[in-house]
Every structure is written in structure tokens, then in C-alpha cells.
Structure 1
Amino acid sequence: ALRAHTSPAGHRHAVFPAAVEAWAEFGALHITASAPGRQIAPAAIRIDPLHGLHLARTLGDLGRALETEVAPLGAEGDEQAVLAIDTEGRVFSIDHTGDWFLGQDIDEALTTLVTGAQPARLSSPPA
């Protein structure tokens, strides 16, 4: 569905090995934290790339800013934020307040979200 979807403005999703591997391993995963967070409230997580289906332009813009490709990964909370993954496997969250770096890989990102660790706001590409 992602590969075939084109937005009304002609934007398409990037599909690449790191995203496909994450979807295959964690697809349909739903996690709800049961304890308070360390710095912020822990987030419920749903791994399902279709949560970002209509965000091809937004994810494309993030990819250009990071000088990479970015694909949808899932959602945080009740879709308050979309989760995205880049070609290197780094994971990001995009919400109405900004773009956030969650981790160098999906395991680190899930830990950040479930434990309520404060993610880093993107102001430049992560190292």
C-alpha cells in the first residue's frame, strides 16, 4: 500500500531495506507502558506504517533535512505523533511541536518511548 500510494500533490513514500526489516520484525506491535516515565509520560506505541500513509510529503521533507530517506514506522499515543525510520535504521517522532530523535535503532527508540526518557529535538541531523 505504501509503495503504491501517491498523494494528491504527487508525493510518494520511500521504501528501503531498514524500513522493510522493521515492519517485518515489529509489524502490528502495540505496547502500552504500565509505569510512570523517567522524564516525560511514556508513550503507547503502534508499529504500523499505514499510520503515516498520508504524510508522504512531511516524511520526504524530514528526509531531505536529514539528507536521507525516511519511511513511516507507526504511531505514538492515539496518533499524536508519527514514528519514522531512516535508511540507517534511526527512528524519529514527528508531532505538532517538532521533530524528535528517538534512537539509533528501533530497540533504542522503543526503550526511549516506553521508559519516558526525554528524546532529543532535531535541530540538525543526529551524529
Structure 2
Amino acid sequence: MRASHRRMQPGRDTGNDGMLAILETVSTVARSGPGRWVLFPAAEQSVREFHGLTFRPTVLGLQVAATGCTVDPRLGRYTHSTLAGLSEALGVELFPFGRTDSDALLAVDEQARLFSVDHGGSWLLGASPAEGITALLQGQRPERVAEEKREWLLPPMGEEDTVADAVKTAMVLVFILDRHSVLRTDILRLHVREKTGFGREPLDLEYPLRDGALEDVTLRVITELRARLQAAGFEALELDITLAAPQARIDEASASAEPATPRVDCALFAANGDPRVLRVELAAPAGRLAFEQGNVAAAQEEIDKYTESRR
């Protein structure tokens, strides 16, 4: 272990060798589908410091089996599709860093965090390449990057029926998440079904939100939805509302001056009858790494306050 640590020297610069490996990686086009690597400062600094080093563990492992790694971005230059999902979940660019002895892919993000991706999923190894490599060599248990959810049960607004309450609440969420740059909602997707689970055919509806002020869209959605439900004869119903973002959300965020935001999805579930139910759910593929990020955490705090204001 000590031999490995002596090779991790802050400020080490491999110069032309490191830059050549970086340029070869950046110039590699995905074998299938679109995809190019984006070089960012943390990636360049990390690769130039560690490129060409091979680390071997000298212990069995503290919590999991210890493993070594080789730092060379070219070992992952054809992994565009492999890293695409993790990049979207985190809301940041990733750059290949190397591979472990067990052939897991290593990648560094814009914050210089070191991740690995293998057949078992995606993992955060450390807050820096040095910390991540040390974790591999010591057999420290990595943190799985996996979806987590946050839920809020909202008391119903007594003066509103279920349809109006659900739609108005959805619009509040649209405003909160947009204000904190967490989710830019373009479309409300509604799914309505009989509460009993059988009977009338479910309704699937979409309402674009960019065609006017939120207040006008809210009134239009409520009016049209009530008319559709009445025409279909719905009485006891369950309603799902999903806040849908444009497909290019990540690309647009990367090209903008706004801070990177991890992917967060939002949905609302409502049911009429007794008791009335109104539940809000945020889901983040990156789990804790998303929910603890600054603007996402701020949005959750505002949803907390909104929930309390309804009590």
C-alpha cells in the first residue's frame, strides 16, 4: 500500500503524455449513435496528474475486496453510451479516467469526483481521484449511485374539488422547480382511471405549458379536464400528473451558464372520495447526490413550506 501512495503526488504533471492520451480520447467518436467527450478542467487536471500510473493493493480489503486500477482515459474512450445515463442522472459531464483490475470503468466528473461503473451499477468512489483510488486500494465500500424518492402528503384544500386541487398543486410545483432551476416543465401529462381499477377506459391527456401564463393554463386544464371526466362518466377516480421536461434538458443545461443540476422527476397522485389523497413525489436517479445538491435541496425546503402552509 505504501508503494502505491508514494506514487500519488499532488501537482504531478505527465505533460505531453497525459495530453496525448486526453486528445486521443476526445477525438474518439461513439461506435454507435451520437456522442463525443467534452474535456473540462477537472478532467484535464486529474488525467495529467495520474495518467500512466498502475496501482496494486497490498491488503485484502477493509469492507469489500481491494482492487487496483490503471489510469489511462483511452481505456474508456468507447464508453459514451455506458456513461451517458450516469451523466444525465448527475447533471454533469463525465470523462474516462481508466479501469480497475476487475475491468470496471473509471470516470471523473466536473467536480473531480471519481466514479466507477460495472455490471452491478454505478458507484461513487471518492470526492477526488486520490480519495477514490485510495478507497479501491483499501477496499472501502463505495456508495451506490441509485434512485431515491422523496414524498410529501399534502392535506387537501377544503374549498377545492380533487381535480382543481391536484392541478393547482401541480402548477405550484412547476413554479417551485423552475424557480430553483431543477426542472423546466414543458408538458403536464395526466392519467385518470377509475378508483376501482376496472370499468371505464383510463384517460391519458397532455397539456403544454408554454402557451400562456401559468394562471391561464391552470384554468384551461381544470375546465377541460372536468368536461372530459363528466363526459366519460368518471366519479370515483385516481389522477396521476407528471411534470414532463423536454428531452434536450441536459444538453441545454450543459450549454448554459446555469449551475449543473442533476436529473429530478416530479409526479403528483390524487384520489377523490373519503379520504381524499394528495401525494407529491420527487425521484432522482442519482439519489443522495442529487437531493443534497444546493438548488435541489432549496426546492425541497420550499415544498416543505408549501406543505405546511396548507395545514
Which sections of structure 1, spanning at least 5 residues, go unmatched?
none
> Match of 1:5, as an amino acid?
T
Instruction: Name which one, 1 or 2, has greater alpha-carbon Rg.
Output: 2
State whether structure 2 residue 150 is matched by structure 1 residue 118.
no
Question: CA separation in 2, counterparts of 1:111 and 1:78?
Answer: 16
Asked if the contact 1:83–1:93 (Cα under 8 Å) also holds between the matched residues in 2, the reply is yes
> Does residue 65 in structure 1 map to residue 55 in structure 2?
no
Aligned to 2:66: 42
Question: Identity across aligned pairs (percent)?
Answer: 33
- The answer to whether the Cα contact below 8 Å between 1:65 and 1:125 also exists between their aligned partners in 2 is no
Code of the residue aligned with 1:13 in structure 2: it is W
Using the alignment, how far apart are the partners of 1:125 and 1:50 within structure 2? 30
Which consecutive segments of 4 or more residues in structure 1 shift more than 2 A? Answer: none
Name the residue aligned to 2:42. 18
Alignment partners' CA distance in 1, 2:29 and 2:101: 26
CA distance in structure 2 between the aligned counterparts of 1:77 and 1:95, rounded to whole angstroms: 12
Question: What is the rounded CA distance, in whole Å, between the counterparts of 1:78 and 1:41 in structure 2?
Answer: 11
Aligned-partner SS, 1:2: helix
Match of 2:126 in 1: 103
Which residue does the alignment assign to 2:79? Answer: 55
Q: Report the alpha carbon displacement of residue 60 of structure 1 after superposing the two structures with TM.
A: 2.4
Q: Secondary structure at the match of 1:102?
A: strand
> Is the contact between residue 72 and residue 97 of structure 2 (CA under 8 Å) also seen in structure 1?
yes
Using the size of structure 2 for normalisation, the TM-score is 0.39
Distance (Å, rounded) in 1 between the aligned partners of 2:85 and 2:29: 15
Offset, 1:58 = 1.8
Q: After alignment, is 28-37 or 53-62 more displaced?
A: 53-62
For 1:109, what is the secondary structure of its paired residue? helix
Coordinate RMSD, CA, aligned? 1.2
List per-residue Cα deviations over 1:68-125 (Å, max 9, x = no partner).
Answer: 000110101142x000000010110000010000011111101110100110111125
Give the TM-score normalised by the residue count of structure 1: 0.93
Cα distance in 2 between the residues matched to 1:20 and 1:59: 18
Count how many residue pairs are aligned between Structure 1 and Structure 2: 126
Unaligned runs of 5+ in 2: 1-23, 147-286, 293-311
Asked if 1:89 corresponds to 2:117, the answer is no
CA displacement at 1:17 relative to structure 2: 0.8
SS class of match (2:124)? strand
